[in-house]
Structure 1
Amino acid sequence: MILGIDLGTSMVKAALFDPDGECLAVAARRSSPTSYGQGRMEQDFEEIVNAVGEVMAEACSGRPVPRAIGITGQSDGLWLLDRDGRGCGRAVSWLDDRGNPYLQDWIDRGVFEAVFRRNGNAIFPGSHAPLMAAMSAAEPDRLALAHTASYLKDGILQRLTGARVTDTSDASLPFLDVVARDYDPEILRMLGLEHCRHLLAPVMPGPGQAFPLNAEGAALTGLPTGIPVHAGPFDLVACPIGAGVERPGEGLIIIGTTLACEVLVDRVDTSGPAVGMTLCMPQNDRWIRSMPATVGTATLDWILSLVGATHKDVDALLAESSPGSRGVTALPFFSTTGERAPFVDVRARGQLAGLSTATTRADLVRSVCESVAYAARECIEAAGLTGTLSVCGGGSNSITWSRMVADALQRPLSVARKPEVGARGAAMVAMDVVGIDYDRVSWTRPEGVIEPRRERAALHEAGFAHYREIVESARHLWHSPNRDLCHVPREKLPCPAT
């Protein structure tokens, strides 16, 4: 048995696989970020540690002890840990926007682009650099208490094995030289974060190594000590591995909390627009060119809550409206951190247009789903797709939405083998590192193929062109001086009379 752990933004999952890649058991616990208002999103690291122990014990209950454990999960955010791997207060989620002003300053001064020209990674508000800058200014004492500015999967590895390390995928953004695969001191200098260098965990070369489950890890999970545990790569890299993306030019769309549109490449290109990520694969000559838009399932969750519906209503609502959403159009940029792909703008905001008294809640939901499909097309084209394309993620469970994406792209979508594509990829890398032989083709066999409906090509071509037009118009309005004059931040509103 091989155990894969996926530490998602909203769920912690453990999936147990047999030698042929069949998933025998999945255990899950909810562990969502908590909103504290004003765009602040935080998570309790100790809560996640306990959830990991519970799902590992449940997935393995009554079955043979796994030969290896692979961990993947959400990246970015700021997971400050002490010397023993315990949280220094609540972790700052990658969804948090307190890094916005620091990123905007780097953009204005040209630092943002200069960093991209060194490593092919566009910094965004929820990544290490802006959050470190914000913490240095607002909570320097808390930062001083920390021994490691960790990533979530690496913090879990430390609690299970005692190892303080990271892998090249998580470290890629923002501080890594992604060709030499080590920290770039010049990037730290440009960002004014040299004083944080001691907080960065050592980077493991190549696919890294596995570490034995220690006594604390055994007590947490109920598994025996000594099982090799491997952490990495993080989910944006683990998913294409689990989906069978193996040749340069092939791609994957992850319809998750993030809409990640990714292409496997064999060289680092920093000459284009300063946008997206260049993430190290376990192989030294491969990278994932990722356009991780903030417009994924969190956008769908928002519109569903607005119209009083749930995920189980999605397919029915999409069927109630018609292609083109009866004239309703949407921009799906509802995150308080703005957008990070295929452009970077901390002021990006969503909109709904074309509304009338005849508009239904089904039209609203469909317009948002169509806008996400158009965002996926723009992102996957920007990432440089030339080969086959796969799809995975929670949003792909809606066959209607997945077919909408295929229609918008006018490309067939291979549905990645379910369940738990990220955990599958983590398990595969763990087997590679430990030296367990397995059939990669069997492990990544697709569930099927969603063919685009050619009769809808013209409609979606026009819809995509209109989407691009309204994005460009909105980008100008986001930066209008009048926007600032008419917007009063909530914290500056006058107090009500007593």
Structure 2
Amino acid sequence: MYVGIDVGTSMVKAAAFDASGREIAVESRPVALDIRDGFVEQDMDEVYAAVVDVLATLTSGSAGPAGPTGPAGPAGVELAGLTGQGDGVWLVDAQGRPVRSAISWMDGRAHELLDEWMASGVFASVFRRTGSAMFPGCPGPVLGWLDRHEPKVLDGAATALYCKDMVFQRLTGVRATDVSDASMPFLDPRTRAYDDESLALLGLTHRRGLLAPVSDPVAVGETRGPGLPTGTRIANGPYDLPACALGAGVTRPGDGLLIIGTCLASLVATDTLDLEAGEPAGLYISTDRQGQWLRAMPAMVGTAALDWVLRTTGVRHAEVDALLDQAPPGANGVQVLPYFAPSGERAPFVEPRLRAELTGVSLETTKGDLVRATCEGIAFAARHCLEAAGLTGDLAVCGGGTRSPAWMRLFADVLGRPLRVVEGEVGARGAVLAAAERYGVELDAASWTRPTAVVEPDAGRAEFYTVAYAKHLAHLAEARRRARGRAGTPG
């Protein structure tokens, strides 16, 4: 069997596949986020222990079935691929052990430093060199904040890794990252190497030694510890966004992927690199294929926004579809700008101080109106991101949000295009495909990435949402002006 490991923000998963790409079994474990006063951290030992646990359960034959095929069983592992959440800073010593808690991509502590860089022009200069629009939770601002406030911690660290790289080093002893993770924010996408000028602009030249070597193509190794059998071949694949693109079959220029998860990520495959046009936002993710990138708009908004509304209103996830069907398009005048993250928004624009807004509410407003308005707001954000990323071809959709048929219909209507729904563990699937390519193992990519459904838009509702989307953009523009006023930056 082939094993894909996806170290997510709130859930660690391992999935087993057969040679045809059929998902045999999945094992998952939740991992905690420590959220307080804009700080968002994770316990690295807890994350690694969850990885070992899911792998041991999956390969021992005690994992639950993914479908009618039954449990994975104790079959031999042909190879394994690793992916996981991107950004943040995971500081480790020479043995790959934690120096402090990991700082998550959701963290907001560096927003004042980012404000400085935006006001001084450093932010724009780095984007024009690397194609990466920084946000508070990406390694540039986080390392800058640590250099100011916890310099002794950095002095005692050997490497500032990304999440999957920490796991890979613990599993294999290999210290490395890949071009996709390194894309934010230090990699020059033209040379596929760290850009020293960008490090100098950020005042981090003296911390360059903390950056892991960039393995191009992805690093490989053999497991030496618990979880997988000793000697299992494993590849440290692309991080979760490009891994999902691989797992959904999005490789043709112009085609796109929408990931409806904790982060609402919009990706469009491209063979054109333009670092000068448009507002600095999102990033160009380098891929294992020379001359091909993913134009990415990974918005902070996502299912976490809907989860907050559900918790606040006491609505269960199982009730969402019924409530979406009850409330009409437009949610009876209720509008939601769904920017709930403590670090604001990062795509298709960067506003660290932007916050969510709920308008049009009255005593007649129902829970269904609130839920539908939130789902519409998230879908509008997706349209904004996909347009900015340059979508011209087919659109695939994956992530936890695809489990709601009513929300998928709403997305199709708001986006005004068919959705190729790809279910299952898409990131883990992509990690396996990346590992197979690296090891020269032939797998039928078309079979592995076949969509499970296609959702068509309704023409009438699509027309309605074209008008509503224009209103959303106007509301957002005003909210951004207020956010910049709070930051003391030009409007």
Please tell me the TM-score bracket, short chain as reference.
over 0.9
Q: Match of 2:234, SS?
A: strand
**Does residue 13 of structure 2 align to residue 2 of structure 1?**
no
| Deviation of 1:455 (Å) | 1.6
Residue aligning to 1:493: none
Over 3 Å off, 4+ runs: none
Aligned-partner Cα distance in 2 for 1:30–1:345 = 30
Residue aligning to 1:301: 307
**Does residue 245 of structure 2 align to residue 262 of structure 1?**
no
Q: Deviations over 1:463-488 (max 9, x none)?
A: 1011011001111222336x98xxxx
Residue aligning to 1:119: 130
1:351-362 alignment runs, 5 A limit? 351-362=357-368
| Deviation of 1:123 (Å) | 0.6
| Deviation of 1:267 (Å) | 2.1
Of 416, 425, 429 in structure 1, the residue corresponding to residue 430 of structure 2 is 425
Contact 2:176–2:219 under 8 Å retained in 1:
no
| Deviation of 1:183 (Å) | 0.5
Unmatched 5+ stretches in structure 1? 485-498
Residue aligning to 2:65: none
Of 482, 485, 488 in structure 2, the residue corresponding to residue 480 of structure 1 is 485
Unmatched 5+ stretches in structure 2? 61-72
Percent sequence identity is 48
Aligned-partner Cα distance in 1 for 2:193–2:411 = 37
Residue aligning to 1:38: 37
The one-letter code matched in structure 1 to 2:399 is G
Q: Deviations over 1:187-232 (max 9, x none)?
A: 00000011110000100113x2310112xx2xx21x3321111112
Q: Deviations over 1:86-144 (max 9, x none)?
A: 11121111111011111111000000000111111101110001111111111111111
Aligned-partner Cα distance in 1 for 2:18–2:397 = 23
Q: Match of 2:87, SS?
A: coil
Q: Match of 2:436, SS?
A: helix
Residue aligning to 1:145: 156
Aligned-partner Cα distance in 1 for 2:485–2:424 = 45
Aligned-partner Cα distance in 2 for 1:316–1:40 = 35
Residue aligning to 1:280: 286
1:323-402 alignment runs, 5 A limit? 323-402=329-408
Q: Match of 1:113, SS?
A: helix
**Does residue 29 of structure 2 align to residue 19 of structure 1?**
no
Q: CA RMSD in A?
A: 1.1
Of 247, 261, 266 in structure 2, the residue corresponding to residue 242 of structure 1 is 247
The one-letter code matched in structure 2 to 1:458 is E
The one-letter code matched in structure 2 to 1:230 is A
Residue aligning to 1:209: 219
Aligned-partner Cα distance in 2 for 1:241–1:293 = 20
Residue aligning to 1:50: 49
1:95-244 alignment runs, 5 A limit? 95-206=106-217, 208-214=218-224, 217=225, 220-221=226-227, 223-244=228-249
Aligned-partner Cα distance in 1 for 2:32–2:304 = 12
Residue aligning to 1:406: 412
Aligned-partner Cα distance in 1 for 2:466–2:294 = 27
Q: Deviations over 1:205-261 (max 9, x none)?
A: 13x2310112xx2xx21x332111111200110001000112100000000111101
Residue aligning to 1:492: none
Q: Match of 2:482, SS?
A: helix
Residue aligning to 2:68: none
| Deviation of 1:318 (Å) | 1.3
Q: Match of 1:391, SS?
A: strand
Aligned-partner Cα distance in 1 for 2:485–2:38 = 22
Residue aligning to 1:491: none
**Does residue 78 of structure 2 align to residue 78 of structure 1?**
no
Q: Match of 1:479, SS?
A: helix
Aligned-partner Cα distance in 2 for 1:312–1:89 = 38
Q: Match of 2:20, SS?
A: coil
Per the normalisation by structure 1, the TM-score is: 0.94
Residue aligning to 2:79: 68
| Deviation of 1:361 (Å) | 1.4
Residue aligning to 2:458: 453
Contact 2:351–2:484 under 8 Å retained in 1:
no
Aligned-partner Cα distance in 2 for 1:444–1:390 = 10
Of 293, 298, 302 in structure 2, the residue corresponding to residue 292 of structure 1 is 298
The one-letter code matched in structure 1 to 2:107 is D
The one-letter code matched in structure 1 to 2:121 is G
Residues matched between the structures, number: 475
| Deviation of 1:320 (Å) | 2.4
Q: Match of 1:304, SS?
A: helix
Aligned-partner Cα distance in 2 for 1:407–1:63 = 45
Residue aligning to 1:487: none
Aligned-partner Cα distance in 2 for 1:32–1:449 = 34
| Deviation of 1:457 (Å) | 2.1
Q: Match of 1:71, SS?
A: strand
The one-letter code matched in structure 1 to 2:391 is L
